[in-house]
């Protein structure tokens, strides 16, 4: 027990762990809130209390009565809408038809009509009520259809199996049809009721929580398995009575207990937040009352389902924690652990999300750890897997496969932990690499601190290799990024027009546009002439008309776009803008390429979080920090040089990521339009001081500032944590996960802000990034140069 508590303290004594845990919880909650606080959910969130009250009102009456009442109310809203349209209408035909329709309503539904009149007199009661009534009406429709859905299951199986393609009794399809019907038969007496289920469904659907939980588990693995190894303390454990076996068992016990606790903690926080947003849910109703869980075959209440949901998350996280523990024990290098551990988990995640359920590779989707972690799907839907033409329920088979994997991972981890020395080892190529390095790169004699730092970072820590890989990757991935974004039939001709017109509006261009206008007017006339000509055979007429229509549909449509742009430019010119013709297709993507911007920034952050920890943490890792004696300037000079290396690497990485696209763009389209104001590109933009070049510079500057802010955070983390691996983990939580979260939010891009003239947002981003950079570098300097802290720490440890 004592050992268990000691192992537990290894984690809880680290303030940083608790800070990270709280930080993850806060970020997770913020992301959950932002994912729910959408325009679509606006009414639901604003009037959640009213929704609850309405639901309670209808819950207290029999379902049929509730349905009739809702239908009446909806009809009243519809009539009220008509009355309002009639009051605003000025079209006689519409007024006539609307009046007769209302008369009809008055006769057939006098109560609903009176109610609508009353509603109109009192002002439009509330739009939200109408929306909620629709929602409840759909719920009632689902509740009424459910008995039929279950009751007809055997009939459907019978009808399907009657067809010759599913008729073979030995086939998976036949077995699946009847097994499904059998498994659902127990649900025939399930009672459904109206329920406010949004808090539960939002909790079940929010998948980002799993990533945070995995990140925290990774951190725990580091403290339990990586920390002692990094400090060289593993050798001390061997000489105890039971060797290392007792230690590893208790380490696993701590890991599993804490993983389960963390999973429960995160899900509970999600559910509480969602309950706060959407209102409380009656957990005693059957889970099938929620239409999303129609296919669930478990005869459980919503509360019990929530328990199963938590259980599946815990099982999934335990398996992942066992796997990550094995990775930590097998590998000694931080980068290898990071890449192997997160790489394999990432591949599993991609397989689960990218493979569709009826793919021939669907076993890879369902015999997948993320299928278990996705508790809503695992317990909430029904699935049989085709195992040698047998229909096997997915839950037991997936649990057994991963149960075996879990035991194997734990067992191998224990064996390796007990038998291997767990010292930092060199691999078979180390000798060769060392000889090669010494032959080409070595420092002889005295050298400057800066050169020494560069040598350590670039050569010793092999970051030159990372940089070369980054350059190669960026150059290769830039192929095909500068393509004309063809999307409409007229794009090719529009491009051709713009190649000629691009630039200032000159008299020649004006007369060219007038000539083209005349040509297309003539062509339209020609089309009429062909249609009216009675001497030409109809098939020939058709071929001729087709040729002309093709021109009008492609070149003609392109000219209409040019013409529209021309009139807009003339208006801009009148307002004093240096209006110039510009290809909107090319430059709108150039100024605001949403996917490109996200890809570039995330790639840059990923490279920085792998490389930057090696600058500061390396001295702590190999204990060389104790040898750096305070000079006249203390450690400040060393810090400045290390910061210089860090900035150099950041700039080089930044250039490697961003330059290939820019070079390709300039080589393809030139720089003629760089001075054109961006108001000429974006129709919705009323004013902007930026030119295309200016917009690109602002974009790059903002990205660079954000990258510098990220780098400074990584640097501080590496100094505080004194560990590469730990820094990588924390940086992933703080930088990469938020990047993943904003992937689909296309408005959260610098290009988007530029294209919509959100100057204030851009300024805030710049100031915020610069402030973070300055504050973080100051903290880093303070921490790094204060050698006493280090001594105190050493003494303590």
Cα distance between residue 101 and residue 105, in whole Å: 6
| DSSP 8-state symbol, 225 | I
The residue range among 84-92, 452-460, 516-524, 560-568 that interacts with other proteins, by the rule CB under 8 A, is 516-524
Regarding 528 and contact with other proteins (CB under 8 A), the answer is: no
Q: Which residues of 583-609 are buried (b: 16+ CB within 10 A; e: fewer)?
A: bbbbbbbbbbbbebbbebbbbbbbbbb
Write down the least CB distance from residue 477 to other proteins, Å: 12
Regarding 546 and contact with other proteins (CB under 8 A), the answer is: yes
- Helix intervals (H) in 478-635: 491-501, 507-532, 538-551, 557-574, 584-591, 594-611, 613-621
**Residue closer to other proteins (CB basis): 156 or 437:** 156
Write down the least CB distance from residue 399 to other proteins, Å: 16
Regarding 400 and contact with other proteins (CB under 8 A), the answer is: no
Regarding 333 and contact with other proteins (CB under 8 A), the answer is: no
Give phi and psi for 525, each to the nearest 5: -65, -40
Q: Position of tokens 């095909």?
A: 480
- CA dihedral of 241, 244, 246, 248, whole degrees rounded to 10: 170
Write down the least CB distance from residue 599 to other proteins, Å: 9
Q: Out of 249, 265, 344, 544, point to the residue binding other proteins (CB under 8 A).
A: 544
**Residue closer to other proteins (CB basis): 446 or 525:** 525
**Residue closer to other proteins (CB basis): 411 or 443:** 411
The residue range among 254-262, 583-591, 603-611, 716-724 that interacts with other proteins, by the rule CB under 8 A, is 583-591
Triad 317, 405, 736: Cα angle to 5°: 40
Write down the least CB distance from residue 517 to other proteins, Å: 13
Closest CA to 708 of 777, 796, 626, 635: 777
* Residue 384: its H or E element: strand 384-387
DSSP sequence for 95-151? HHHHHHHHHHHHHH-HHHHHHHHHHHHT----HHHHHHHHHHHHHHHHHHHHHHHHH
Regarding 489 and contact with other proteins (CB under 8 A), the answer is: yes
Q: How many CB atoms lie within 10 A of CB 552?
A: 17
DSSP sequence for 445-457? S---HHHHHHIII
Write down the least CB distance from residue 545 to other proteins, Å: 9
Regarding 534 and contact with other proteins (CB under 8 A), the answer is: no
Regarding 364 and contact with other proteins (CB under 8 A), the answer is: yes
Cα distance between residue 718 and residue 639, in whole Å: 13
Regarding 533 and contact with other proteins (CB under 8 A), the answer is: yes
Residue ranges in 697-736 that form contacts with other proteins under rule CB under 8 A: none
Q: Position of tokens 């390429």?
A: 593
The residue range among 224-232, 361-369, 572-580, 731-739 that interacts with other proteins, by the rule CB under 8 A, is 361-369
Contact pattern for other proteins over residues 413 through 452, marking x by CB under 8 A: --xx--xx--------------------------------
Regarding 178 and contact with other proteins (CB under 8 A), the answer is: yes
Q: Which residues of 60-72 are buried (b: 16+ CB within 10 A; e: fewer)?
A: eeebeebbeebee
Write down the least CB distance from residue 656 to other proteins, Å: 20
Q: Position of tokens 């190894």?
A: 229
Regarding 522 and contact with other proteins (CB under 8 A), the answer is: yes
Cα distance between residue 695 and residue 674, in whole Å: 9
Regarding 483 and contact with other proteins (CB under 8 A), the answer is: yes
Those residues with Cβ within 8 angstroms of residue 401's Cβ, 6 or more apart along the chain or in another chain? 367
The residue range among 51-59, 123-131, 409-417, 706-714 that interacts with other proteins, by the rule CB under 8 A, is 409-417
Write down the least CB distance from residue 519 to other proteins, Å: 8
Q: Out of 34, 114, 540, 778, point to the residue binding other proteins (CB under 8 A).
A: 540
Contact pattern for other proteins over residues 596 through 625, marking x by CB under 8 A: x-----------------------------
**Residue closer to other proteins (CB basis): 95 or 387:** 387
Contact pattern for other proteins over residues 147 through 166, marking x by CB under 8 A: --x---xx-xx-xx-xxxxx
Phi-psi region of 623 (alpha: psi -120 to 50; beta: other; left: phi over 0): left
Tokens of 81: 């809408």
Write down the least CB distance from residue 136 to other proteins, Å: 16
Regarding 511 and contact with other proteins (CB under 8 A), the answer is: no
Regarding 769 and contact with other proteins (CB under 8 A), the answer is: no
The residue range among 40-48, 200-208, 553-561, 760-768 that interacts with other proteins, by the rule CB under 8 A, is 553-561
Cα distance between residue 608 and residue 646, in whole Å: 9
**What's the Rg (C-alpha) of the chain?**
34
Q: Out of 62, 445, 537, 576, point to the residue binding other proteins (CB under 8 A).
A: 537
Write down the least CB distance from residue 797 to other proteins, Å: 31
* Residue 90: its H or E element: none
Regarding 530 and contact with other proteins (CB under 8 A), the answer is: yes
The residue range among 179-187, 280-288, 614-622, 642-650 that interacts with other proteins, by the rule CB under 8 A, is 179-187
Those residues with Cβ within 8 angstroms of residue 199's Cβ, 6 or more apart along the chain or in another chain? 271, 274, 275, 277, 278, 279, 280, 281
Regarding 477 and contact with other proteins (CB under 8 A), the answer is: no
How far CA 248 is from CA of 231, 245, 254, 417, 725, in Å, comes to 17, 5, 10, 7, 21
Write down the least CB distance from residue 555 to other proteins, Å: 5
**Residue closer to other proteins (CB basis): 120 or 203:** 203
Write down the least CB distance from residue 158 to other proteins, Å: 9
**Residue closer to other proteins (CB basis): 84 or 386:** 386
Regarding 508 and contact with other proteins (CB under 8 A), the answer is: no
Q: Out of 29, 35, 131, 295, point to the residue binding other proteins (CB under 8 A).
A: 295
**Residue closer to other proteins (CB basis): 99 or 533:** 533
Is the CB of residue 504 less than 8 Å from the CB of residue 540? Answer: no
Closest CA to 363 of 343, 340, 342, 383: 383
Write down the least CB distance from residue 589 to other proteins, Å: 5
Closest CA to 397 of 408, 413, 386: 386
Q: How many CB atoms lie within 10 A of CB 141?
A: 12
The residue range among 7-15, 38-46, 99-107, 522-530 that interacts with other proteins, by the rule CB under 8 A, is 522-530
The residue range among 350-358, 440-448, 686-694, 760-768 that interacts with other proteins, by the rule CB under 8 A, is 350-358
Q: Out of 529, 624, 683, 786, point to the residue binding other proteins (CB under 8 A).
A: 529
Regarding 180 and contact with other proteins (CB under 8 A), the answer is: yes
The residue range among 13-21, 344-352, 593-601, 680-688 that interacts with other proteins, by the rule CB under 8 A, is 593-601
Q: Out of 29, 173, 602, 787, point to the residue binding other proteins (CB under 8 A).
A: 173
**Residue closer to other proteins (CB basis): 7 or 491:** 491
Count of residues near other proteins by CB under 8 A: 89
Those residues with Cβ within 8 angstroms of residue 442's Cβ, 6 or more apart along the chain or in another chain? none
Closest CA to 580 of 679, 684, 493, 667: 679
Regarding 350 and contact with other proteins (CB under 8 A), the answer is: no
Write down the least CB distance from residue 162 to other proteins, Å: 7
Cα distance between residue 490 and residue 563, in whole Å: 13
């Amino acid at each position: 027990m004592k050992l268990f508590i000691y192992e537990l303290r290894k984690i809880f004594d680290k303030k940083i762990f608790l800070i990270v845990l709280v930080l993850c919880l806060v970020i997770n909650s913020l992301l959950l809130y932002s994912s729910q606080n959408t325009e679509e959910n606006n009414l639901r969130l604003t009037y959640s209390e009213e929704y609850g009250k309405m639901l309670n009102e209808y819950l207290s009456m029999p379902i049929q009565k509730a349905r009739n009442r809702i239908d009446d109310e909806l009809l009243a809203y519809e009539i009220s809408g008509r009355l309002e349209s009639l009051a605003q209408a000025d079209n006689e035909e519409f007024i006539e038809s609307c009046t007769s329709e209302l008369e009809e309503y008055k006769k057939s539904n006098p109560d609903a009509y009176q109610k609508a009149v009353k509603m109109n007199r009192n002002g439009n009661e509330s739009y939200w009520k109408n929306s909620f009534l629709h929602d409840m009406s759909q719920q009632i429709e689902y509740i009424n259809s459910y008995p039929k859905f279950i009751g007809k299951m055997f009939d459907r199986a019978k009808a399907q199996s009657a067809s010759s393609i599913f008729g073979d009794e030995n086939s998976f399809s036949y077995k699946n049809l009847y097994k499904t019907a059998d498994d659902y038969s127990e649900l025939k007496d399930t009672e459904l009721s109206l329920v406010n289920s949004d808090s539960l469904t939002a909790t079940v659907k929010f998948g980002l929580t799993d990533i945070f939980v995995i990140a925290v588990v990774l951190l725990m693995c580091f403290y339990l398995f990586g920390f002692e190894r990094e400090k060289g303390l593993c050798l001390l454990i061997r000489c105890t009575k039971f060797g290392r076996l007792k230690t590893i068992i208790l380490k696993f016990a701590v890991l599993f207990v804490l993983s389960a606790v963390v999973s429960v903690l995160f899900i509970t926080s999600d559910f509480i937040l969602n309950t706060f947003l959407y209102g409380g849910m009656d957990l005693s109703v059957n889970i099938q009352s929620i239409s999303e869980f129609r296919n669930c075959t478990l005869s459980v209440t919503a509360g019990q389902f929530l328990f199963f949901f938590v259980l599946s998350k815990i099982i999934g996280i335990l398996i992942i924690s066992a796997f990550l523990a094995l990775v930590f024990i097998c590998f000694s290098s931080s980068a290898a652990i990071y890449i192997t551990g997160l790489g394999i988990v990432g591949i599993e995640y991609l397989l689960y999300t990218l493979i569709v359920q009826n793919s021939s590779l669907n076993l890879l989707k369902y015999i997948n750890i993320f299928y278990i972690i996705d508790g809503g799907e695992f317990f909430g839907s029904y699935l049989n897997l085709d195992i040698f033409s047998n229909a096997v329920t997915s839950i037991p088979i997936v649990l057994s496969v991963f149960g075996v994997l879990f035991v194997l991972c734990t067992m191998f981890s224990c064996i390796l932990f007990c038998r291997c020395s767990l010292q930092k080892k060199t691999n078979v190529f180390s000798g060769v690499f060392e000889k090669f390095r010494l032959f080409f790169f070595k420092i002889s004699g005295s050298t400057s601190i800066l050169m020494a730092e560069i040598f350590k970072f670039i050569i010793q820590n092999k970051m030159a290799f990372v940089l070369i890989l980054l350059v190669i990757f960026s150059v290769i991935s830039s192929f095909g990024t500068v393509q004309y974004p063809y999307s409409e039939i007229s794009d090719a001709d529009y491009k051709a027009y713009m190649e000629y017109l691009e630039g200032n509006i000159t008299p020649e261009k004006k007369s060219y546009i007038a000539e083209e206008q005349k040509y297309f007017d003539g062509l339209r006339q020609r089309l009429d002439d062909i249609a009216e000509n009675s001497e030409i055979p109809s098939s020939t007429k058709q071929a001729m008309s087709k040729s002309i229509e093709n021109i009008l549909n492609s070149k003609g449509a392109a000219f209409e776009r040019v013409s529209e742009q021309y009139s807009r430019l003339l208006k801009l010119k009148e307002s004093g803008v240096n209006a110039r013709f510009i290809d909107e297709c090319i430059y709108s993507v150039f100024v605001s390429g949403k996917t490109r911007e996200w890809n570039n920034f995330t790639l840059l952050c990923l490279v920085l979080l792998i490389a930057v920890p090696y600058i500061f943490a390396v001295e702590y890792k190999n204990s060389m920090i104790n040898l750096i004696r305070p000079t006249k300037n203390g450690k400040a000079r060393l810090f400045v040089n290390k910061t210089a290396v860090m900035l150099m690497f950041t700039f080089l990485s930044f250039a490697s990521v961003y330059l290939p696209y820019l070079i390709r763009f300039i080589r393809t389209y030139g720089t003629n339009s760089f001075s054109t104001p961006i108001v000429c590109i974006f129709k919705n933009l009323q004013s902007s001081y930026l030119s295309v070049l200016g917009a690109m510079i602002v974009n790059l500057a903002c990205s660079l500032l954000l990258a510098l802010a990220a780098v400074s955070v990584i640097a501080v983390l590496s100094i505080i944590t004194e560990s590469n691996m730990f820094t990588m983990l924390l940086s992933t939580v703080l930088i990469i996960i938020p990047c993943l979260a904003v992937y689909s939010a296309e408005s959260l891009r610098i290009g988007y802000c530029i294209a919509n003239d959100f100057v204030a947002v851009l300024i805030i981003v710049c100031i915020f990034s610069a402030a973070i950079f300055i504050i973080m570098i100051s903290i880093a300097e303070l921490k790094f140069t204060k050698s006493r802290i280090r001594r105190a720490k050493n003494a303590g440890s």
